Structures are given as C-alpha cells and as structure tokens.
Amino acid sequence: MARVYLDHASSSPLRPAALDAMLPYLRDHHADPGRVHSEGKITRVAIEEAREHVATLFGARPREVVFTATGTEAINAAVWGAVARGLDERDQPRDQPVVHVVTTAVEHSAVLDACERAPAEVSVVGVDAVGRFSADAVIDALRPETVLVCVQLANHEVGTIQTEVPAIIAAGRERGVLVHVDACAASGHIPVDFHALDADLCSITAHKLGGPKGAAALLVRRGLRLPPFVVGGAQERARRGGIENVPAIVGFGAAAAELASEDRLATEATATRVLTDRLLTCTLAVDDVTQLGDPDARLPHLVCFSVGGVEAEPVLLGLDQRGIAVHSGSSCSSEALEPSPVLAAMGVDADKSLRPSVGWNSTDADIDAFCSAFPEVVAKLRALRTG
C-alpha cells in the first residue's frame, strides 16, 4: 500500500518539471559557471534563465535575486548583512553592539537564532492567540538605533498570514530602517510580490514549493548593498561566495516557471485549500480537537490543531504506522529537543499539536486515508490512557 505524505510544509516532493530540468546538469553539464569557456557559458546561461523565472514568480528584478543554498542561509545573510551595514554606517565596534533589531516571537528558528547571535540588541514582539503580531507593537519597539526589522509573511507552524506586514514595511521605510520579510513558508502557496511589498529584503526557498533542496534566494532591493554573509568568491555579483549549485538552481527556476504559468499558483492554492478544509472537517468532528491559528487568513496548504487527552507524538507515530506522514509541534518530532516556540508564544501546548500539510500532488485519497485513520488512532490512545 502506498504511503500518504502530508508534510509538504516541511518539504514538498520534487515536481517532474524540476527534475527534468535538472537532469542535464547532473549528467552532462558540469562546468563552473564562472569560467569563460563554452562549457562554463552553458551553466552560466542556465543559472541566469533560472534567475529570471524566480524573479518573475516573486515580483522581483532578476538582479535582485541572490541565490543561496537554503532559506536559512538567506535569512542569516539578511540579518547579519543588515547588522554589519548598520554598524559600519555608525562606525561602531562590532564587539560592543549599539545597533538594534526588532523581530517577533513566532519567527522561524533561523530568524530568532540569527538575531540572537548577531552583534545587536534584540527586541522580540509577542503575538495574539492565533499567532499574529500587530504592526503597532512592532513599530512601538523601534528605537533610534534600530537597523533591522525581521518579520514573517505567514507562519510556518499554524499557517496564520501576517496581514499587517505592509504597515510595518511602510514604517521602516519612513524611518530608514531595513525590513526583511521571511516568505519561505508562503513561497509557492500564496502570491509573494517583492515590489508590491516594497520590502528591502525577502527570503524564499525552493523545497517547500516542489523545487529541489539546496536552492533558495534572498531578494535584495535594487540599490541596497549588504556585506556578504558567505565570503571567499565573487559569485552572485560578489553578494554570495562559493560555486553555484547549478542543478538545484535550475530546478528552482523550473518549479517557479511552472507556478508562474497559466495561473498555476492560484489553481493549486484553491485545490489545496479544498483539501485542508476537508481534513479540518473530519478532524474537528473528533471530540476535544481544536484548530490553531487563524481559521480564515491562513496558508491554504496547511492546518494545525491540538488533540486533547493525548500527546501528539503518539498520534503521529500511530498515523505513521498506518502509512501517513504528518508533522508535530512536539519536541520529539525534530532535531530540536524543545517544544515549538511558535506554539509557546501563542500559549498553546506544543506537545498536543499536529500539522498536516498538502501540496501540488496531494489527492482526495490522501485526505480519505487521514480521515479514516485519525479518529481510530486517537480513540485507541485515549483508551490506553484511561486504562
């Protein structure tokens, strides 16, 4: 029996178009794209074509796309680059930070860890019960020494879309503070228009939208110069050192081109919303199950809910035994040995949360399988708990 994969929000299967585009650059075209010989020119052209596809999908100019290896690297490049730029502009020593960064309690660990380790003071803004931060709270945290605001476009755990990001960007522009938007969770699932957002920096990634692992990008507003995070080469117009991962970048470009064609992004978003609505209907029919995050303004492809009376980890394992893969906010579900800070910031017990997510190749049969297994798994576990 085929397994059911409902963890697209962690990493989505590779689209056939992306695989097909990558294969020639795994088998035949091996050259360094920084070389001037004919072989090097082939890989250089492939990268630049991929850059155009990614720029088109995300409403950016090709020159604003800086390819990185992961969304985590893109985020670190934004945070460390903005802090270094702020220190240089103020002519301050980097071992005695006098610059300031504002972020929120529901950001991805890549954001929170980068902000914590950067040579800057950090203010972390709280959120409400659905995981949404307010523009007023973020703006109130700004100081004269603030050099960066780092906020997400949508939450990666509960799916809440952060509707007040445009107001935060506008305030940052007015005060001369750089704003970085983490759009990795939103990439390929809702429209992300870099120019319409008017942000200074924006992180995106390939593997959450059906592209390959190993390719992501930092969108950098035209005219903005940041010190590179990865040094040792002049690649990416001296903005990110190191030889480019040509096959992964080509695959990212192919996945982006597919999503940008014939309203594919909107079509897939509608389809995934229908699937997650179905999943929620059957899930919430089980006693003491509560949806987490905003029920309406959410990413279309993921849902998060808490399961009363039993920890989520046994539910996850019970579903896995029945051939269904989902994600849990519990500490044992990942490399981290602590509960999700997102759910903790919302006041939710992370040990009782599940996050199923669908994607470009999910089907009604996948939801049928989940809806059949979930009530049985929960009932069995609750019976064991009560003796």
Pair (153, 101) in one structural domain: yes
Tell me, yes or no, whether 72 and 122 share the same domain. yes
Indicate if 56 and 144 belong to the same structural domain: yes
State the pLDDT at residue 88.
Answer: 87
Provide the 8-state DSSP code for 129. Answer: T
- Is 332 annotated in the active site? yes
Q: Which of 167, 221, 174, 223 minimizes the C-alpha distance to 199? A: 221
CA distance 15 to 24: 16
Mean pLDDT for the chain? 94
**Is the pLDDT assigned to residue 173 strictly greater than 90?**
yes
- pLDDT at residue 288 greater than cutoff 70: yes
Catalytic residue, from 115, 202, 282, 332: name it: 332
What's the confidence (pLDDT) of residue 224? 98
pLDDT in tens, 217-244: 999 999 999 999 999 999 999 999 999 9
CA distances from 215 to 54, 61, 143 (A): 11, 18, 35
pLDDT of residue 94: 59
Tell which of 201, 234, 260 closes a domain: 260
Q: Please give the tally of structural domains in the chain.
A: 2
CATH code of the domain containing 327: 3.90.1150.10
Q: Which two tokens stand for residue 10?
A: 């962690």
Q: Which domain holds residue 128?
A: 16-260
Whether 249 and 117 share a structural domain:
yes
**Is 159 strand, coil or helix?**
coil
Average pLDDT, integer, range 355-372: 98
Beta bridge partners of 201: 180, 220
226 and 277 co-located in one domain:
no
Answer whether residue 184 shows pLDDT above 90. Answer: yes
pLDDT of residue 335: 54
Q: What is the pLDDT of residue 385?
A: 80
Q: Which of 244, 260, 276 is a domain's end point?
A: 260
Enter the pTM of the model: 0.95
Which of the 8 DSSP states describes residue 67? E
